[in-house]
Amino acid sequence: MAIRPILIAGDPRLSAPAVPVTVFDAELAAFVDDLFDTNAAANGAAVAANQVGDPRAVFAYDLTDHGVRHRGHVVNPMIETSEIPETMPDPDDDLEGCLSVPGEWFPTGRADWARVTGVDVHGEPVTVEGTGYLARCLQHETDHLAGRLYLQRLIGRNHRAARRMIRDHGWTEPGRSWLPDGPTRRTVH
């Protein structure tokens, strides 16, 4: 098990759609363990494979929502959601962050309910369904695997602020990452 560097916005691997997993072996199981370790070290809610430079369609999550812990992984996920709001998100209740956009948070419109179906590392069927924070997480991670950062979902002034932030951080060139090391974040590239 290992903690892997997390790619930062601007890396083209974050915008490439994931490749379906076809081999279910010990290496895949070890990789999912690495995702859990990386997520824990980064104090995240979830991490998708492409965030650590792997093109496979898999994500791991470990979060608490309303006092209930949700922990698991999904390989080759497919998502269904309730209607996604088209209005301006609430600046207090709809804040969203991302390990690939470290230290930044923006109000992001998400559906109130989501269900993800897929398989586990053994190829057995998995279904994860939730509302609130879990629903937001499921949408966020499946977006990653579709090659979308949450920044692409921003509208209005939030979209403009995110574009300025990307420019100000210099996150316009590929190859930047950071290595989660507990509360410390150090840039690798």
Q: Give the active site residue among 80, 83, 124, 141.
A: 141
Cα–Cα distance, 189 to 175 (Å, whole number): 6
129 catalytic residue (yes or no): no
The reply, when asked if residue 122 is annotated as ligand binding, is: no
What does the CA dihedral 96, 101, 106, 107 come to, rounded to 10 degrees? Answer: -40
159 is in an annotated binding site: no
Which residues carry a binding-site annotation for Fe cation? Answer: 98, 140, 144
Which residues carry a binding-site annotation? Answer: 98, 140, 144
Active site residues: 141
